[in-house]
Chain A
Amino acid sequence: MTPIKHYPPKPQKVYFYGTCLIDVFYPGAGLDAIRLLEREGIEVIFPDDQTCCGQPAYTSGYHDEARRVALAQLALFPEPWPVVVPSGSCGGMLRVHYPTLLADTPQVDAAQDVAARTFELTEFLLNVCHVKLSDLGEPEQVAMHTSCSARREMGLGDTAPALLNQLGQVELVEQVRTTECCGFGGTFAVRHPEVSGAMVEDKVDAIEATGARHFVTSDCGCLMNINGNAEHRQKAVQGEHIASYLWRRTS
């Protein structure tokens, strides 16, 4: 659970691991993330055979199944290039859990190797690309929701706010209980729907109470969850993936 303290220099090439939620529901966010990376002069390799990181099976206890899927994902990254993931949850899966999930397999070394070069998108833009963003948008307030995986598994509570603070016309407002879980938790939302529902309601209310009508997040699970509840309750609060937000405001 420790953040990477020593970041590599900006590379020429990276692998991009889009994540299944982005693939199905928010592909625009994935494309915007790729554009952000390409704008920094990096060649983005998108292994066509990528599917799912395995996290839903992993957290459900189906490790045999998760392991087979993990092994298939590992095989996508043979070259020593960084793997950039637009999600703290899938990024955390690769970086934190693949080594233990594959501990008793011959591929454990490959898992350690990939884990060591896996980065979440905002972390990579800030600490590897040293990106300098120029804000071309209108002044507005925005709230940030950092996923629990990004915050606690990958140690990245600060990276997305740091990028948002680079945007000169954007005021980052903070909701109460900013570090509290939004209630998604993958299968938690369907196994314990009432508790999850109570959590996401509170999260939507907290974001609404900041006065900001817009929020961004680095994780599409959280995005689906918070947007979905806001829409269900006909709240004006609406969010998008931070990749789309940053791309739109700076290009």
Chain B
Amino acid sequence: MSVQTYSPREFHRQAHDALGNPQIRANFRRAMDGLMDKRGDAFSDWDVETLRELGANIRLRALAKLPDLLEQLEANCEANGIKVHWATDGDEACEIVSDICARHEAKSVIKGKSMVTEEMHLNAHLEAAGIEALESDLGEYLVQLNEQTPSHIIMPAIHLNTDEISDILHEKTGTERTRNVDTMTAAARAQLRERFMAADVGISGVNFAVAETGTLCLVENEGNGRMTTTVPPVHVAVTGIEKVVEHLRDVPPLYSLLTRSATGQHVTTYFNMINAPRQAGEFDGPKEVHLVLVDNGRSNIYQDDELLDTLRCIRCGACMNHCPVYTRVGGHAYGTTYPGPIGSILMPHLIGLEETQDLPSASSLCGACGEVCPVKIPIPDLLVRLRKEAVGEGRGNVPGAGVKRNKKELAAWKSWQWAATHPGVWRSGLTMASKLRALMPAKLAPWTDYRTLPQPAKTSLHTLVKRHHAKRGQE
């Protein structure tokens, strides 16, 4: 199956296409407006700033103790019968998963929603190994049928509207065309129930991994996560190493922040806490449970005090819901597993700044994202930091640092710096700009593609103030 691919290197073209697509514009505008309203309503009865502060603290505490907590998580999981594996990168993680599948002679795998497995390109890896990997989350299922990747980390099919979904179900599964959402949902339910029964292995993500008890927590509304982690005889859970929390009591605040920030829900239909495979005397549940801990660049981010904050993320999607850029170009335009604001601060570490060089600048730094982040990640500051790294004036500890260093732009900023630190030169420049204002071109792309160009004023403020104070001095 060939999946429609986008690349972060093509951001400008992909954004251009999205901006010119009225359906994408309308779908995302409506969807983001709805999600923003829902989040607002969900927090109206809470002291949201206190809760965000607590969330930020809990995540930071976990990061402060990360290596110890990972060891504690491993020890507790293993003591309960969960086999723990470690992978330095996505490829290693894919190998671990496919090895588990091979040991069980698995032909088909059913997946609960997991962004880290998208990051790893696990489905493609499994398919190359002759193993069918079917997505069970309805949005992921639709996106997979449509041979695409998700366009949002919480609502993967947000770019599709009802008619498109009906077409997809009809063309790929023979379901009768309908605009009735309940009918389509019932069709998907029936189709996937068979697949849950038939799957050899269930693969899921993890929302929170609790070190204190070795508990894997999964958040969902549909029930496919519980199905994926309960029905097949083998369950493989995959997580980034940063998703650990220290104590069980750390979970309720983060769970509350996650559901309210993501979809405006007080709670999701299910909160699934997995501690062990089927024990002696139990009659259902997987007989084998595996946990794969994936680094894939996270321990690099971990090294730097400023960049560290990126790892607080609990993958709620609120940042992209509130982003005026994401709302207009949609998730696919970014061409990365994680789009929107979190994508722009995370992906450079995972796949390098050479690939993602246009993403940190694809933001007006409006700060709407940072304002709603449930764990208070200073996203605009991190975007500026990555811009600094991209032009080679940072610490150089981000892969691809310096990729945007170019002589012309540097020379321009150096000239600006010289003028701005030589006030006499600056004032002369002001006078020149005023005198030459009639010569300002009417067209100065790209500004003038969308706006008229303002003219320098006849007299600068410097001069106006001098005259004003002189006049006042005479009074």
Question: Interface on A for B, CB 8 Å cutoff?
Answer: 1, 16, 18, 22-28, 30-31, 34, 38, 46, 48-52, 54, 56-66, 68-69, 72, 148-149, 151-153, 179-181, 183-201, 224-225, 227-229, 231-232
Q: Which residues of B contact A186 (CB under 8 A)?
A: 364-365
Are A195 and B19 closer than 8 Å at their CB atoms? yes
Are B15 and A196 closer than 8 Å at their CB atoms? no
Question: C-beta contact mask, B354-368 vs A, less than 8 Å → 1, else 0?
Answer: 000000011111111
Are A185 and B364 closer than 8 Å at their CB atoms? yes
Question: Looking at the complex, which one of A28, A49, A153 makes contact with B367 (CB distance below 8 Å)?
Answer: A153
14 cross-chain CB contacts under 8 A: A1-B370, A25-B457, A58-B384, A60-B387, A61-B388, A68-B421, A180-B324, A188-B365, A190-B447, A192-B15, A197-B449, A228-B452, A228-B453, A232-B450
Given the complex of chains A and B, what is the CA–CA distance between A185 and B433 in angstroms? 23
Known: A23-B461, A46-B465, A62-B410. A152 touches B361 (CB 8 A): no
Q: Which residue of A lies closest to B385 (CB)?
A: A61
Given the complex of chains A and B, what is the CA–CA distance between A91 and B449 in angstroms? 29
Given the complex of chains A and B, what is the CA–CA distance between A65 and B392 in angstroms? 12
Report the 5 A-B pairs with minimum CB-CB distance, sorted nearest first.
A185-B364, A228-B451, A61-B387, A193-B446, A181-B366
Are B364 and A194 closer than 8 Å at their CB atoms? no
Given the complex of chains A and B, what is the CA–CA distance between A185 and B365 in angstroms? 6
Question: Looking at the complex, which one of B329, B404, B469 makes contact with A195 (CB distance below 8 Å)?
Answer: B329
Question: Looking at the complex, which one of B19, B388, B420, B466 makes contact with A194 (CB distance below 8 Å)?
Answer: B19
Q: In the complex, given contacts A23-B460, A48-B462, A58-B384, what are 6 additional A-B residue pairs having Cβ atoms less than 8 angstroms apart?
A: A28-B457, A50-B423, A60-B391, A191-B361, A193-B447, A227-B451
Q: Which residues of A contact B95 (CB under 8 A)?
A: none
Are A24 and B433 closer than 8 Å at their CB atoms? yes
Are A46 and B450 closer than 8 Å at their CB atoms? no
Q: Which residues of A contact B367 (CB under 8 A)?
A: 1, 148-149, 151-153
With a 10 A CB-CB cut-off, give which of B416, B446, B451, B465 has the most chain A CB atoms. Answer: B451
Q: Which residues of B contact A46 (CB under 8 A)?
A: 462, 465, 469
Given the complex of chains A and B, what is the CA–CA distance between A148 and B367 in angstroms? 7
Give the distance to chain A from B335, nearest Cβ to Cβ, in Å.
Answer: 15
Question: Looking at the complex, which one of A69, A192, A201 makes contact with B420 (CB distance below 8 Å)?
Answer: A69
Given the complex of chains A and B, what is the CA–CA distance between A222 and B445 in angstroms? 18
With a 10 A CB-CB cut-off, give which of B393, B414, B450 has the most chain A CB atoms. Answer: B450
> What is the predominant secondary structure among interface residues of chain B facing chain A?
helix
Give the distance to chain B from A51, nearest Cβ to Cβ, in Å.
Answer: 4
Q: Which residues of A contact B409 (CB under 8 A)?
A: 60, 62
Are A65 and B414 closer than 8 Å at their CB atoms? yes
> What is the predominant secondary structure among interface residues of chain A facing chain B?
helix
Are A57 and B457 closer than 8 Å at their CB atoms? no
Interface size range of chain B in the complex? 35 or more
Give the distance to chain A from B421, nearest Cβ to Cβ, in Å.
Answer: 5
Are B362 and A192 closer than 8 Å at their CB atoms? yes
Q: Which residues of B contact A72 (CB under 8 A)?
A: 420-421, 423
Known: A31-B468, A65-B414, A197-B450. A188 touches B430 (CB 8 A): no
Q: Which residues of A contact B419 (CB under 8 A)?
A: 51
* Interface of chain B residues 451 through 475 with chain A (CB within 8 A): 451-457, 459-466, 468-469, 472
Are B452 and A232 closer than 8 Å at their CB atoms? yes
Question: Looking at the complex, which one of A62, A68, A189, A195 makes contact with B325 (CB distance below 8 Å)?
Answer: A195
Q: Which residues of B contact A59 (CB under 8 A)?
A: 365, 384, 387
Given the complex of chains A and B, what is the CA–CA distance between A153 and B380 in angstroms? 10
Query: Does B16 belong to the interface (CB within 8 Å)?
Result: yes
Known: A51-B421, A61-B387, A152-B367. A26 touches B457 (CB 8 A): yes
Give the distance to chain A from B458, nearest Cβ to Cβ, in Å.
Answer: 9
Q: Which residues of A contact B469 (CB under 8 A)?
A: 46
Question: Looking at the complex, which one of B363, B421, B460 makes contact with A27 (CB distance below 8 Å)?
Answer: B460
Are A201 and B364 closer than 8 Å at their CB atoms? no
Given the complex of chains A and B, what is the CA–CA distance between A60 and B413 in angstroms? 10
Query: Does B389 belong to the interface (CB within 8 Å)?
Result: yes
Known: A23-B430, A60-B387. A148 touches B368 (CB 8 A): yes
Give the distance to chain B from A48, nearest Cβ to Cβ, in Å.
Answer: 7
Given the complex of chains A and B, what is the CA–CA distance between A1 and B37 in angstroms? 23
Q: Which residue of B lies closest to A76 (CB)?
A: B423
Query: Does B160 belong to the interface (CB within 8 Å)?
Result: no
Give the distance to chain B from A50, nearest Cβ to Cβ, in Å.
Answer: 7
Question: C-beta contact mask, B6-29 vs A, less than 8 Å → 1, else 0?
Answer: 000000100110010000000000
Give the distance to chain B from A37, nearest Cβ to Cβ, in Å.
Answer: 12
Are B393 and A61 closer than 8 Å at their CB atoms? yes
Query: Does B390 belong to the interface (CB within 8 Å)?
Result: yes
Give the distance to chain A from B325, nearest Cβ to Cβ, in Å.
Answer: 5
Given the complex of chains A and B, what is the CA–CA distance between A65 and B404 in angstroms? 16
* Interface of chain B residues 248 through 269 with chain A (CB within 8 A): none
Query: Does B371 belong to the interface (CB within 8 Å)?
Result: yes
Q: Which residues of B contact A26 (CB under 8 A)?
A: 457
Q: Which residue of A lies closest to B426 (CB)?
A: A51
Given the complex of chains A and B, what is the CA–CA distance between A227 and B457 in angstroms? 16
Q: Which residues of B contact A56 (CB under 8 A)?
A: 416
Are B461 and A18 closer than 8 Å at their CB atoms? yes
Are A48 and B16 closer than 8 Å at their CB atoms? no
Query: Does B417 belong to the interface (CB within 8 Å)?
Result: yes
Are B366 and A148 closer than 8 Å at their CB atoms? yes
Query: Does B328 belong to the interface (CB within 8 Å)?
Result: yes
Given the complex of chains A and B, what is the CA–CA distance between A187 and B391 in angstroms? 15
Give the distance to chain B from A88, nearest Cβ to Cβ, in Å.
Answer: 11
Q: Which residue of A lies closest to B447 (CB)?
A: A190
Give the distance to chain A from B474, nearest Cβ to Cβ, in Å.
Answer: 15
Q: Which residue of B lies closest to A185 (CB)?
A: B364
Question: Looking at the complex, which one of B363, B387, B393 makes contact with A64 (CB distance below 8 Å)?
Answer: B393
Q: Which residue of A lies closest to B469 (CB)?
A: A46
